[in-house]
Amino acid sequence: MPYPIASLHYGLRFRLAELATPLERLNLQIAAGNSSICPPNLQLLHKYDDVFDFHTRDGQVLVLKVKKITEVLLDVKPYKVAKDSLTECGRKIFLNFFTEQHLESEKFNHFLLRPNKLKLNNCDLSKPFLDKLSTMTSQSPTIVVILQEKCYAHTLNFSQLFTAFPQVQCIRLDRCQLSETWIADILQCKKHSFQALDITIYSNQLETFKLNDLIKFMKVQRRGFCMFVTVLGSSDSSDLFFAQLKQFLNTRLRHTYTEPQEKKFTHVYFYYRNVRICWYLPHNTRLVSKKSPLHRWW
């Protein structure tokens, strides 16, 4: 049973306000519905329509505020955190080279993390890290981008990812370490259906595409679902496998070298050796989604 904090003596509530972090004071005000819950001052929340980019250096967390000026010009400035300041990150946040320990930084007592888009650049992908980040963001992200260019400490677990961020609709994975059964793993998450999946892999990962599982995966997605696969590099073995993949998909899906004329098709693109091929499902294999398909949403 929650304790009625509002009934505490003024002096105790005053001391509580002194001990609480800015984020804790805001949560108390919201829970009580009364700004006087933490006298004498109301905890203010600053909102920006900018991207907040969190970095680590020598164990410390640094914050950059990124403002878009034009399509190619960005205004990037260090963001200073004042003693009692609290800032809402409601659009995009980027975390760079983060571990679970970095999420314990005192800096996060000054941020209300409610991003629509979350980008993890060479971060820890362990279950404790994802669970902690899930709590800090209140599971708000609908778009998740993961880049693992330098770190392969953890193979991405899709079940853990979907549990941490159940609202996610679009996922981009760039050079992540994938398990041999990653497509089957997604199929096990039967309660989750999303709109777009973009994957960039090295050619030696191409054989993780189990062909029968790929067809099953396509068929259970909502119509209009887009899957983009970019393969970096090539080898004799990847050439052979891609030839087998094309032959297999040609017998089960329709293919084209251009955009499908009907945007409501569920489709998959493979980009390999500077050639892009698209396969898509016929209309009668999946019901129409009421939502519009997403294309290259990052």
Residue 244 has which token pair? Answer: 């087998």
281 and 209 in a common domain: yes
CA–CA separation, 136 vs 165, rounded Å?
Answer: 11
Closest CA to 199 of 170, 223, 220, 221: 170
- Please indicate, yes or no, whether residues 61 and 113 belong to a single structural domain of this protein: yes
Q: How much is the pLDDT for 4?
A: 67
Least confident range from 14-18, 128-132, 154-158, 170-174: namely: 14-18
Average pLDDT over residues 196-203: 96
Q: Which amino acid is at 143?
A: I
Question: Which residues is 56 bridged to in the sheet?
Answer: 61
Choosing from 152, 176, 200, the residue where a domain stops is: 176
Do 141 and 27 have their domain in common? no
Inter-residue contact 25 to 17 (CB < 8 Å): yes
Domain boundary, last residue among 155, 176, 197: 176
Q: Summarize pLDDT for 220-243 with one digit per residue, the tens.
A: 888 889 999 999 999 999 999 999
Do 50 and 24 fall within a single domain? Answer: no
Contact 50, 63 (CB under 8 A): no
- Residue 226's nearest CA partner among 296, 298, 143, 147 is 296
User: Tens of pLDDT along 64-88?
Assistant: 999 876 666 788 899 999 888 999 9
Cα separation, 199 vs 216, whole angstroms: 18
Lowest mean pLDDT: which of 120-134, 136-150, 262-276, 277-291? 277-291
Q: Please state the rounded mean pLDDT for residues 112-116.
A: 96
Question: How many structural domains are present in the chain?
Answer: 3
What is the pLDDT of the chain when averaged over all its residues? 86
Question: Do 281 and 293 fall within a single domain?
Answer: yes
Same domain, 62 and 131: yes
Q: Please, are residues 155 and 178 in contact by the beta-carbon 8 Å criterion?
A: yes
| Order of strands across the sheet that contains 170-174 | 74-78, 60-68, 51-57, 92-96, 117-121, 143-147, 170-174, 196-202, 226-232, 267-272, 275-280, 254-256
**CA nearest neighbour of 141 among 194, 219, 100:** 194
> What domain range includes position 119?
44-176
Q: What pTM value is reported for the model?
A: 0.87
- 3 lies in the same domain as 70: no
Give yes or no: residues 5 and 107 share one domain: no
CA neighbor of 52 nearest in space, from 97, 88, 84 = 88
Query: Same domain, yes or no, for 29 and 73?
Result: no
Where does the chain have alpha helices with state H? 10-19, 22-32, 127-137, 158-164, 182-188, 211-220, 236-250
Sign of CA dihedral 131, 136, 140, 145: negative
Task: Single out the residue in 176, 192, 222 at which a domain terminates.
Answer: 176
| 10 plus 113 within the same structural domain | no
pLDDT digits (tens, 9 = 90+) for 240-288: 999 999 999 999 998 887 665 556 788 999 999 999 999 998 765 443 3
- Cα angle 273-276-278, degrees, rounded to a multiple of 5: 140
**Residues 156, 220 within the same domain:** no
Contact 205, 178 (CB under 8 A): yes
Q: Give 276's contacts (C-beta < 8 A, 6+ positions apart).
A: 257, 269, 270
CB of 230 closer than 8 Å to CB of 200 = yes
For the chain, how far is it from start to end, CA to CA, in angstroms? 44
Given this model, what pLDDT does residue 3 score? 59
The pLDDT of residue 288:
38
Residue with tokens 């972090």: 21
Residue 98 reports pLDDT greater than 80: yes
Are 21 and 106 in a shared domain? no
The percent of the chain in helix, strand and coil, each rounded to the nearest 5, is 30, 25, 40
Predicted pLDDT of residue 39: 66
- Reading the block at residue 150, the tokens are 């330098």
